[in-house]
Structure 1
Amino acid sequence: MSLEVRRAGSRFVTLEAGRETRHSFSFGPHYDPANLGFGLLVSHNDDRLAPGAGYPEHPHQEIEVVTWVLTGALAHRDSTGGAGVLRPGQVQVMSAGTGVVHSEYAEPGTGPTRFVQTWVRPAAWGEAPAYASADVSPGAGWTAVVGGDGLPVRAPGATLWITDASAGDQLVVPEVPHAHLFVATGAARLGEVELAEGDAVRMSDRGGDLTVTAPGQLMLWTFGP
């Protein structure tokens, strides 16, 4: 059983024209051999884009790309024909499979855009790429947005839960082989550990009682059998 707190200020940061990305794991030029992933999670990026800024066409292969928009709007287009504008309350899963090319930009006219994008290792390689999105309305409890009752993901046992919580709400982090908690907005307390916006906790073979201390959205990846 273990619990590891990763503070917002300890993350790698990439600054480019109109973009700021905060990385929870090794990414691109930010290499840390002791921080390559956690469970099936290999990337957890918190992106902030100026209107019209973003990422031109680039490839992915054999990875599940999950995107959750917090503010603004994110225009997505990929080589499977998947396209659309993601807004807060919408989730997207792009299964890269044998190979996909996509682009994503902050929709002009919607103000700054912030989104969290995570990459999860699939259970098997060699499948065709696929794309799906859905509207989600998280409540005070955990809502499965990917895996479980949410959008399908090619990683059995992987579930992304989101809560739109108020101060004083009580939640429980389930005891699973791996759980990754991220405070997207607001603040919370896990046991005796105080967590602010941008903080994350990695838990192995343990759960915990969670108290929301400031309203906001919490994101929880669980990886179980």
Structure 2
Amino acid sequence: MIIERPSSARGRVQAGWLDSRHTFSFGGYYDPAWMGFGCLRVINEDRVDPGAGFAPHRHANMEILSYVLSGGLAHKDSSGGGGTIGPGELQWMSAGHGVEHSEYNASKTEPVHFLQIWVQPDRLNAQPAYAQPTAAETKDGEFVLRASRDGVHGGVPIRQDVNLYSLALGQGSRARRTLDPKRLYWLQVAQGRIEANGRALEAGDALGFSEESAELILTGAGESPADVLWFELPPAR
């Protein structure tokens, strides 16, 4: 089964300094048909005005990833984690038994554009943790592993049976992935335009795959390179 989630169908929340598009139910946006996809609970596309941001607030038992598309995002949390995340960088914070954190636009003059991603962990009340590796080296048409379960396969050590890849696709470039029907998959177009087995997708569009065994062929379809996130997820319980 292939699930379509067009960009235009997402929820939208505007708060003056914030323009946010929600793939799944979050905060003031609620749709019982879109409560998540397996353990993938949140994908918010956020644009934050210069100098503005999310004041300190608390979370527990959630894996929180921030992927910056443009600008700079300043993070600080009560576990001691902190730093500024730039374009192409992925930040991981495991809230564990509870952590307070803030996220602000690091610039006083330019907006920041990023994806906020939440994954439900496979364990409860663990010690909070944080990691901010430098931006991964990318090659056109190659999947780059950005997160894996406990970091065993590389990337940040997310506490869930998830492999998260980023993929850059120039116009006409191709990448292939063979789907295992025992896994769930989520394709999120962060920027640009692609085709997925001939299906046209643009920034903000997403596809979910459940019990699929076909080969997926992704092709860059825009004048500027596309930026794609690919999630390999455990089956829903």
Q: TM-score range by the shorter chain?
A: over 0.9
Structure 2 SS opposite 1:184: strand
In structure 2, C-alpha distance between the alignment counterparts of 1:109 and 1:216, rounded to whole Å: 28
Q: Is the contact between residue 4 and residue 201 of structure 1 (CA under 8 Å) also seen in structure 2?
A: yes
Does the 8 Å CA contact 1:76/1:102 hold for their aligned counterparts? yes
CA displacement, residues 75-121 of structure 1 (integer Å, 9 cap, x when unaligned): 00000010100001221110000000000011124611101111001
CA offsets, 1:152-199, max 9 Å, x none? 10002x011101221111112331421111111111111131101111
Any conservation in 2 of the 1:97–1:125 contact (CA below 8 Å)? yes
Q: Is the 8 A contact 2:13 2:28 kept in 1?
A: no
Within a 5 Å distance, the mapping from 1:125-136 to structure 2 comes to 125-135=124-134, 136=136
SS in 2 for 1:85: strand
In structure 2, the CA distance between the partners of 1:110 and 1:83, relative to structure 1 (3 Å rule), is farther
1:27 counterpart = 2:26:
yes
Q: Distance in 2 between matches of 1:128 and 1:224?
A: 23
Indicate the residue corresponding to 1:211 in structure 2. 219
2:164 paired with 1:160: yes
Query: If the length of structure 2 is used for normalisation, what is the TM-score?
Result: 0.90
Give the aligned partner of residue 179 of structure 2. 175
Contact 1:76 1:85 in 2 (8 A): yes
Task: Compute the displacement of 1:44 (Å).
Answer: 0.5
Secondary structure at the counterpart of residue 203 of structure 1? strand
Whole-Å Cα distance in 2 between the matches of residues 195 and 204 of structure 1? 19
2 CA distance for matches of 1:166 and 1:193? Answer: 17
Q: Is the 8 A contact 1:17 1:53 kept in 2?
A: no
Residue 104 (structure 2) aligns with: 105
Q: Distance in 2 between matches of 1:19 and 1:93?
A: 22
Counting strand residues as a fraction of each chain, which structure ranks higher? 1
Whether 1:188 and 2:228 are equivalent positions in the alignment is: no
Count matched residues.
223
Structure 1 alignment gaps of length 5 or more: none
SS across alignment from 2:12: strand
The residue number in structure 2 matching 1:96 is 95
Query: Where do 1:6-85 residues align within 5 Å?
Result: 6-85=5-84
Kindly state the Cα deviation for residue 133 of structure 1 after the two structures are TM-superposed.
0.8
Contact 1:72 1:110 in 2 (8 A): no
> What letter corresponds to residue 211 of structure 1 in structure 2?
T
Identical positions, percent: 35
Measured against aligned partners, the alpha-carbon deviations of 1:33-61 in whole angstroms (never above 9, x if no partner) come to 12111021000110001111110001111
Say whether the 8 Å CA contact 1:45–1:118 is kept in structure 2: yes
C-alpha distance in 1 between matches for 2:204 and 2:93? 24
Q: Is it true that 1:221 corresponds to 2:231 in the alignment?
A: yes
Distance 1:188 1:89 in 2: 18
TM-score, structure 1 length as denominator?
Answer: 0.95
User: Shift of residue 128 of structure 1?
Assistant: 0.9
Contact 2:51/2:109 (<8 A) preserved: no
SS at match of 2:102: strand
